Structure 1
Amino acid sequence: MDEFELVLPAELSRFGRSTRATVTGPADGPVVIVLGGISASRFVCGAGGWWPGMVGDEGAVDPRRHRVLGIDFIADKCGGAAPSCEDQAAVICKVLDRSGVDQAHAVVGASYGGMVALSLGQHFPARVKRIVVISAGASAHPAATALRELQRRVVALGIAEGAAAEALSIARGMAMLSYRTSEEFERRFAGGLGGEEPLGRTEPGDYLRARGEAFQAVMSPGRFLSLSASIDRHRIDPAAITTPALLIGAESDQLVPPSQMEALAAALAGPAALRILPSLYGHDMFLKDAARMADIVRPFLEGGQ
């Protein structure tokens, strides 16, 4: 694995001095850019990789055959400004330049990473041959925007009141409810409150607390504000994207419903294939059903290879 620091251009300096990226795999392998949600990191491959099942030996993206590029998204650590997905795509192009790559074989993006992949396809079409977009539309859905604004208000209030960590944990819990499905919660947990104490602990609540605490290991309150708002800044023109695309969505996705994926597929100027799949896991299908996603993505990546 080649891990390196990329100094940001002056026009992006409000998002920090630099970011970090990794490149893993044979020097002559086809380059595949792999992007995930706002908490995803540059560590795509290996024991600490965030997308097992999709990336790895025998995965759709295989570091033994592919040259796999991962990146830490840029963000304002103070939470005062939100980068655009085009900004993220521009940084990816800088990483490609640093790695001596004129054109990547593909970009595989899920959730926020799918939004960045679409921006790469629109604004820098010469830099990638094909795009895979999982659970991302042409713009943010109004209901999802409303939920994220509530999360940002909670975090901002926590920062102002000296309770930033607890506020970030609550915001993550709210997000988890939108990532997953009520059917999954029904299978895993008992509902209801056992006593008269209004702030008593519940079984599903304990799960969300645990996820909120774990989130703090990879996300700060300011970075969360910046990247959460970046999601809601996302808007691309599908008619301007001619790059071949594979789109995958979940029937149960609350944040990016199938209707958004269908509209995107119909509006793209280039060839587009769409798969809408049943899943217990909603928006988190790309993580929880990664092996199933890989079976769909693999032949698309192998086309023309």
Structure 2
Amino acid sequence: MNAEALRRPDPHAPLVAIELDVPLPPAQRRFGATMRATLTGPEDGPVIAVLGGISGNRIVCGPSSWWPGFVGNDGAVAPRAHRVLGIDFIADEDGRAAPTTLDQAAALCAALDHLGIAKAHAIVGASYGGMVALSLGQHFADRVDRLVVVSAGSDAHPAATALRQLQRRVVALGVENGAAAEALSIARGMAMLSYRTSEEFGRRFQGGLDGEDPLGPTAPGDYLRARGTAFQSVMSPGRFLSLSASIDRHRVDPGAIKAPVLLIGAESDQLVPPAQMEALAAALGGPAELHILPSLYGHDMFLKDAARVADLARPFLQGPAS
């Protein structure tokens, strides 16, 4: 399919979605026998895998998509023009072991094998998904033409690792003491503070505590409590421990990645600061294009400013297959 056709998909074409149970390779079966995946789009469309953060899932297209604005008829990835592959990340649901991003990349390649797809047109990964994309680009170079990596580095930043370890300690303490749900909610609140910016909180909330009760409500605290409660619908304590630690196990050799890579980051990102993205761009073994965007939303820029990210990714994804 040429670039002109990708820009003008047929809005009346049937949108075909396939739900899959993908058998995992032997090395990954300690995280389960199968992985759930979804493939959406026309049979002749170029295949693009779209991967998000640890709470992202296989539902990439449609009204329940976790990335509206980037995936859609007006997005960089258009399910009426592309075959869009989404996966549920593998994890130890008991929280005792953390997969590597190489494990996730191997599971994604198993999904491609299951579908009879020799090579994906692109892997688009944001946050943890960007780490998985980089790992696939290093270890399975023949399975993908190009990578779009948003807010992810070649390894975990030390400050981010420290924060995540605190979150895991909170969750482990909650599990041990029969308060797993509350502990997971607190950990999610801590994470949200690192995903967003102090400027955004300053615009949205009034600070300070009314009354003498040390545990009394506050406006920003109530927001974080609500986000923590919502998080429990998509994440269990054990799965959180496994995938949070997986982020900190991530390491790739950028020089071994030869495919063209589009890198997009946020000036205000606390977890993957611009200097880390710049270092990755300089170290990559193939062509690299880097954009660092101003954003109120920090690490969550890829979700909150999805249309801006899509505008950068669209021409890169329209390039011809190798």
Counterpart Cα distance in 2 of 1:184 and 1:79: 33
Counterpart Cα distance in 2 of 1:9 and 1:245: 27
Secondary structure, aligned partner of 2:120: coil
Of 184, 191, 203, the residue aligned with 2:207 is: 191
Of 281, 292, 295, the residue aligned with 1:276 is: 292
Task: Kindly provide the CA deviation profile for residues 155-191 of structure 1, in whole angstroms up to 9, marking residues without a partner as x.
Answer: 0000000000000000000000000000000000000
Please give the residue correspondences for 1:195-206 in structure 2 after superposition, counting only pairs within 5 Å.
195-206=211-222
Of 140, 150, 164, the residue aligned with 2:166 is: 150
Secondary structure, aligned partner of 1:275: strand
Counterpart Cα distance in 1 of 2:277 and 2:149: 9
Unaligned runs of 5+ in 2: 1-16
Please give the residue correspondences for 1:1-305 in structure 2 after superposition, counting only pairs within 5 Å.
1-304=17-320
Task: Quote the offset at 1:270 in angstroms.
Answer: 0.0
Secondary structure, aligned partner of 2:65: coil
Counterpart Cα distance in 2 of 1:17 and 1:114: 24
Secondary structure, aligned partner of 1:218: coil
Task: Quote the offset at 1:287 in angstroms.
Answer: 0.2
Counterpart Cα distance in 1 of 2:276 and 2:126: 15
Task: Kindly provide the CA deviation profile for residues 234-274 of structure 1, in whole angstroms up to 9, marking residues without a partner as x.
Answer: 00000101010000000000000000000000000100000
Secondary structure, aligned partner of 1:262: helix
Task: Kindly provide the CA deviation profile for residues 186-243 of structure 1, in whole angstroms up to 9, marking residues without a partner as x.
Answer: 0000000001100000000000000000000000000000000000000000010101
Counterpart Cα distance in 1 of 2:35 and 2:296: 35
Aligned-partner residue type, residue 21 of structure 1: A
Task: Quote the offset at 1:304 in angstroms.
Answer: 1.3
Secondary structure, aligned partner of 2:292: strand
CA contact (8 A) 2:28 2:107 kept: no
Counterpart Cα distance in 1 of 2:62 and 2:182: 32
CA contact (8 A) 2:57 2:86 kept: yes
TM-score normalised by the chain length of structure 1: 0.99
Task: Quote the offset at 1:100 in angstroms.
Answer: 1.2
Superposed CA RMSD: 0.6
Counterpart Cα distance in 2 of 1:240 and 1:16: 30
Task: Kindly provide the CA deviation profile for residues 129-156 of structure 1, in whole angstroms up to 9, marking residues without a partner as x.
Answer: 0000000000000000000000000000
Task: Quote the offset at 1:16 in angstroms.
Answer: 1.6
- Identify the residue that residue 3 of structure 2 maps to in structure 1: none
CA contact (8 A) 2:75 2:310 kept: yes
Identity among equivalent positions (%) equals 74
Task: Quote the offset at 1:10 in angstroms.
Answer: 2.6
Unaligned runs of 5+ in 1: none
Q: How many residues align?
A: 305
Counterpart Cα distance in 2 of 1:40 and 1:15: 17
Counterpart Cα distance in 2 of 1:217 and 1:46: 19
Aligned-partner residue type, residue 258 of structure 2: T
Task: Kindly provide the CA deviation profile for residues 56-85 of structure 1, in whole angstroms up to 9, marking residues without a partner as x.
Answer: 112100000000000000000000000000
Secondary structure, aligned partner of 1:116: helix
Aligned-partner residue type, residue 203 of structure 2: R
Secondary structure, aligned partner of 2:210: coil
Aligned-partner residue type, residue 19 of structure 1: M
Aligned-partner residue type, residue 235 of structure 2: M
TM-score normalised by the chain length of structure 2: 0.94
Aligned-partner residue type, residue 230 of structure 2: A
Secondary structure, aligned partner of 1:130: strand
